[in-house]
Amino acid sequence: MKITVMGAGYVGLVTGACLAEMGNHVVCLDVDPRKIDMLKRGEVPIREPGLDAAIARNAAAGRLQFTTDVAAAVGHGTLQFIGVGTPPDEDGSADLQYVLAAAENIGRHMTDYKVVVDKSTVPVGTADKVRARIAQVLDERGLDLTYAVVSNPEFLKEGAAVDDFMRPDRIIIGCDDERASLLMRAVYAPFMRNKDKLVVMDVRSAELTKYAANAMLATRISFMNELAMLAERVGADIEWVRRGIGSDQRIGSHFLYAGTGYGGSCFPKDVKALIRTGQEQGLQLGVLQAVQQANERQKQVLVQRVLARFGEDLTGRTFAVWGLAFKPDTDDMREAPSRVLITELTRRGAAIQAYDPVAMPEARRVLAGTPRLQFVEHQSAALEGADALLIVTEWKEFRTPDFDQIKATLRQPLILDGRNLYEPALMRAFGIDYIGVGRAAAA
């Protein structure tokens, strides 16, 4: 099939490459000429396991092309996927300007039947706005063309995006149009071994499903973070509690890890946007407000631990930071807890020696101008002369480091672990003062 994908970001590139993988002819459009130039040269602007190879393979086969030419892109696909950003407005609601600009482009250049697919995360009612914008532009052009607007939210996780797209837990299609529904089913059929994975529903329910999924996952995390704080006070270990409750099938074991709070481009923004939608409807979504507050508190957890140990004035102190990305296997620094930590500690006079396996270029960009922040080329170099090691992202290579070397290199053997990577008893055996999140040893 001929498919156009608007937006060459995380969602757009993964969608484009994976759809091309199944034999579709995909044109990926972006307004950012720098990104498109890179992609045309065979460079991939984001780090995502498996994505470079998928793009290279399909581009070489002529099934995946990149362009900034709006008319050509709209002309190409019967299906027009919109995968542009929906960042938060000042009031927390999703900013739809990019989605509506994409819709306008479709209306401006279409000459035949199109299925417009909202893949961006958008509030309930957006499909109606997209439909109205296209209708308005067609009206201005004096044309009466048929088109359908479908909601098809994306559930991929960064760091596992290609895998998630190729083997989805479910595919949600919100659709009120029979012809569009047939086309959507055909496009997704190759991604499903089990037909039950495709859930076709009305458009508004599909739009709300996306926010509900992210909000539920964020709720689990905030719940566990709060319980971790309680566990520390009562002398319990959150890791045992996690295993204990996760084995109940009704609860399940995923997304129960206490840590430094959830970050990334989605949970914080989507929880905020859902709260905002509630307010617009005269509803206080109190559970989600608490989820958000708990997360803001949790992002301070390592800061609080440092202050408790070293006092409010950190002048002359140096801290090693391992991990900058908001999670492993990505260089994404959006809403990363490391940003809060580094900003708060340097504001109080501390120096930071930071290391991340892939996110340092991006971290340099977003943390430019931060005083006393130094990026080092190896995790062990971060430890030199540091008063403590702070772990923020659970990269695999941090899991079994040389503990003797850590002990010998730090000024004092103190690890403040925001990801619970190590067993407190093992750390005691190495003679390391170790504080995790919600671990018995932290009490």
Binding residues vs ligand UGA (CB under 6 A): 121, 154-158, 214, 217, 221, 255-257, 259, 262-264, 266-267, 326-327
Q: Shortest CA distance to 257 belongs to which of 418, 427, 405?
A: 418
Instruction: Please report which helix (H) or strand (E) contains residue 103, including its range.
Output: helix 97-109
Among residues 7 and 323, whose Cβ is nearest to ligand NAD?
A: 7
Count of beta carbons in the 10 Å neighbourhood of residue 215:
21
Active site (annotated) includes residue 175? no
Per the CB < 8 A criterion, the answer to whether 213 and 155 are in contact is yes
Closest separation between CB of residue 157 and ligand UGA, Å? 4
The verdict on whether residue 157 carries a ligand-binding annotation is yes
Residue 267 interacts with, from ligand NAD, ligand UGA, none (CB under 5-8 Å by kind)? ligand UGA
The verdict on whether residue 385 carries a ligand-binding annotation is no
Among residues 239 and 335, whose Cβ is nearest to ligand NAD?
A: 335
The verdict on whether residue 272 carries a ligand-binding annotation is no
356: Cα separation from own chain's centroid: 17
Residue 259 interacts with, from ligand UGA, ligand NAD, none (CB under 5-8 Å by kind)? ligand UGA
Residue 31 interacts with, from ligand UGA, ligand NAD, none (CB under 5-8 Å by kind)? ligand NAD
Closest separation between CB of residue 182 and ligand UGA, Å? 26
The verdict on whether residue 269 carries a ligand-binding annotation is yes
Among residues 107 and 418, whose Cβ is nearest to ligand UGA?
A: 418
The verdict on whether residue 256 carries a ligand-binding annotation is yes
Per the CB < 8 A criterion, the answer to whether 4 and 79 are in contact is yes
Query: Burial, 138: exposed, middle or buried (Cβ in 10 Å; 0-12, 13-18, 19+)?
Result: middle
Residue 328 interacts with, from ligand UGA, ligand NAD, none (CB under 5-8 Å by kind)? none
Write out the two tokens for 227: 């319980």
Among residues 121 and 318, whose Cβ is nearest to ligand UGA?
A: 121
Among residues 66 and 398, whose Cβ is nearest to ligand NAD?
A: 66
The verdict on whether residue 156 carries a ligand-binding annotation is yes
Closest separation between CB of residue 395 and ligand UGA, Å? 12
Which amino acid type is present at position 337? P
Write out the two tokens for 367: 């943390």
Strand order in the sheet with 79-82: 64-67, 25-29, 2-6, 79-82, 114-118, 147-151, 171-174, 198-201
Q: How many helices (H) and strands (E) does the chain have?
A: 17, 14
Closest separation between CB of residue 261 and ligand UGA, Å? 7
Q: Which residues bind ligand NAD (CB under 6 A)?
A: 6-12, 29-32, 35, 83-86, 98, 101-102, 120-121, 154, 156, 158, 265-266
Query: What DSSP string describes 271-284?
Result: HHHHHHHHHHTT--
Residues 324, 362: Cα–Cα separation, whole Å: 9
Write out the two tokens for 122: 């958008």
Closest separation between CB of residue 370 and ligand NAD, Å? 23
Residue ranges of the binding site for substrate: 155-158, 210, 255-259, 263, 327
Give the residue numbers annotated as catalytic, written as ranges: 266
Residues annotated in a binding site for NAD(+): 30, 35, 86, 121, 158, 269, 334
